[in-house]
Structure 1
Amino acid sequence: MMSRKCQYIYQRIILFFIINLIIFFISQNFLIKIQKPYVHRTYNNHKSILNNNLTFKNVSIVHYTTLYGIRTDSRTKIFNDNLKQICNILDPEDYLLADSVFVSLVDFVRFPSLSNGISYRSLHQSQLWIVHSEESPRNSYRIMDVKNIKDLDDWFNLTSTFKPESDFPIQYRGYRIKPKIGDLLKNKLNISLHQTINLTSDLLSDTFINESFIYLNTLSSIFHKELINRKKILLNLCPYTCNQPLPHHAIKSLQPYLKQTTQKVLNQNIVYIVWFVSNCNTHSRREDYVNKLRSQKGIHIDIYGNCKSIYHSPILSIQCQKGTSNCIENILLNYRFYLSFENSKCDAYITEKYWIQGLNGHTVPIVLGAKKEQYQRIAIPNSYIHVDDFQMINKNDNLIKYFLYNLM
Structure 2
Amino acid sequence: MPNQMEMVNNTCMVNIISIKNLLTQTDPVTQTDPDTILLIWMWPFGQKFDLGICSSQFNIHGCHLTDNRDWFKSAHGVLFHHRDIREDDMPTLQRPLFQKWIWMNMESPSNSPLHSTVKNLFNLTTTYRQDSDIMIPYGRISEKTGGSTTYEIPHKSKLVCWIVSNWNSNYKRSQYYENLKQHISIETFGCSFSRPVKDEDYSDLVSSCKFYLSFENSIHKDYITEKLYNPLKLGTVPVVLGPTRKNYEELIPGNAFIHVDDFSSPKELAEHLKLLDQNESLYRQYFTWREHFVSSTTSFGLEHACWACDHIRRYKNYRVVNDLSSWYWG
TM-score, scaled relative to structure 1: 0.53
**Displacement after TM superposition at 1:97 (Å):** 3.3
Say which of 103, 110, 119 aligns to 1:153.
119
Say which of 243, 250, 264 aligns to 1:391.
264
In structure 1, give the amino acid aligned to 2:274: Y
The aligned counterpart of 2:176 is: 289
The answer to whether structure 1 residue 101 and structure 2 residue 78 are counterparts is yes
Taking CA–CA contacts closer than 8 Å with sequence separation of 6 or more, which of the two structures ends up with the larger relative contact order? Answer: 2
Distance in 1 between the 2:248 and 2:174 partners? 21
In structure 2, give the amino acid aligned to 1:355: Y
Contact 1:274–1:338 (8 Å) recurs in 2: yes
Pair 283,373 (structure 1): closer, same or farther in 2 beyond 3 Å: farther
Pair 284,369 (structure 1): closer, same or farther in 2 beyond 3 Å: farther
Q: What are the Cα deviations for residues 73-131 of structure 1, in whole angstroms up to 9, with x where unaligned?
A: xx9314438866464636124323322111111222235365xxxxx77x544321001
Please give the secondary structure, in 1, of the residue aligned with 2:256. coil
The aligned counterpart of 1:320 is: 197
Please give the secondary structure, in 1, of the residue aligned with 2:254. coil
The answer to whether structure 1 residue 347 and structure 2 residue 214 are counterparts is no
**Displacement after TM superposition at 1:352 (Å):** 1.2
Distance in 2 between the 1:277 and 1:112 partners? 35
Pair 329,64 (structure 1): closer, same or farther in 2 beyond 3 Å: closer
In structure 1, give the amino acid aligned to 2:55: N
Say which of 264, 269, 272 aligns to 1:400.
269
**Displacement after TM superposition at 1:332 (Å):** 3.3
The aligned counterpart of 1:302 is: 187
The answer to whether structure 1 residue 80 and structure 2 residue 46 are counterparts is no
Pair 109,80 (structure 1): closer, same or farther in 2 beyond 3 Å: same
The aligned counterpart of 1:59 is: 36
Segments of 5+ residues of structure 1 without an aligned counterpart are 1-45, 51-55, 115-119, 142-147, 185-256, 266-271, 310-314
**Displacement after TM superposition at 1:260 (Å):** 7.2
The aligned counterpart of 2:161 is: 274
In structure 2, give the amino acid aligned to 1:407: L
**Displacement after TM superposition at 1:349 (Å):** 1.1
**Displacement after TM superposition at 1:261 (Å):** 6.7
**Displacement after TM superposition at 1:288 (Å):** 0.7
Q: What are the Cα deviations for residues 354-378 of structure 1, in whole angstroms up to 9, with x where unaligned?
A: 111x113343210112221111111
Distance in 2 between the 1:363 and 1:83 partners? 32
The aligned counterpart of 2:21 is: none
Distance in 1 between the 2:120 and 2:169 partners? 30
Contact 1:283–1:343 (8 Å) recurs in 2: no
Say which of 314, 330, 352 aligns to 2:204.
330
The answer to whether structure 1 residue 138 and structure 2 residue 115 are counterparts is no
Distance in 2 between the 1:98 and 1:159 partners? 17
Segments of 5+ residues of structure 2 without an aligned counterpart are 1-28, 278-330
**Structure with the higher strand share, 1 or 2:** 2
Please give the secondary structure, in 2, of the residue aligned with 1:149. coil
Say which of 91, 116, 121 aligns to 2:68.
91
**Displacement after TM superposition at 1:337 (Å):** 1.4
Pair 70,178 (structure 1): closer, same or farther in 2 beyond 3 Å: closer
The answer to whether structure 1 residue 379 and structure 2 residue 252 are counterparts is yes
Pair 259,371 (structure 1): closer, same or farther in 2 beyond 3 Å: same
Distance in 2 between the 1:365 and 1:159 partners? 29
Distance in 2 between the 1:86 and 1:263 partners? 44
Contact 2:37–2:76 (8 Å) recurs in 1: yes
Q: What are the Cα deviations for residues 312-360 of structure 1, in whole angstroms up to 9, with x where unaligned?
A: xxx6xxx521x31xx233223543211011111111111111111x113
The answer to whether structure 1 residue 112 and structure 2 residue 84 are counterparts is no
Contact 2:38–2:63 (8 Å) recurs in 1: no
Q: What are the Cα deviations for residues 229-263 of structure 1, in whole angstroms up to 9, with x where unaligned?
A: xxxxxxxxxxxxxxxxxxxxxxxxxxxx7767763
Q: What are the Cα deviations for residues 155-186 of structure 1, in whole angstroms up to 9, with x where unaligned?
A: 1110001110100101233224545762x6xx
**Displacement after TM superposition at 1:137 (Å):** 2.2
RMSD: 3.2
In structure 2, give the amino acid aligned to 1:80: S
Pair 100,176 (structure 1): closer, same or farther in 2 beyond 3 Å: closer
Distance in 1 between the 2:235 and 2:67 partners? 45
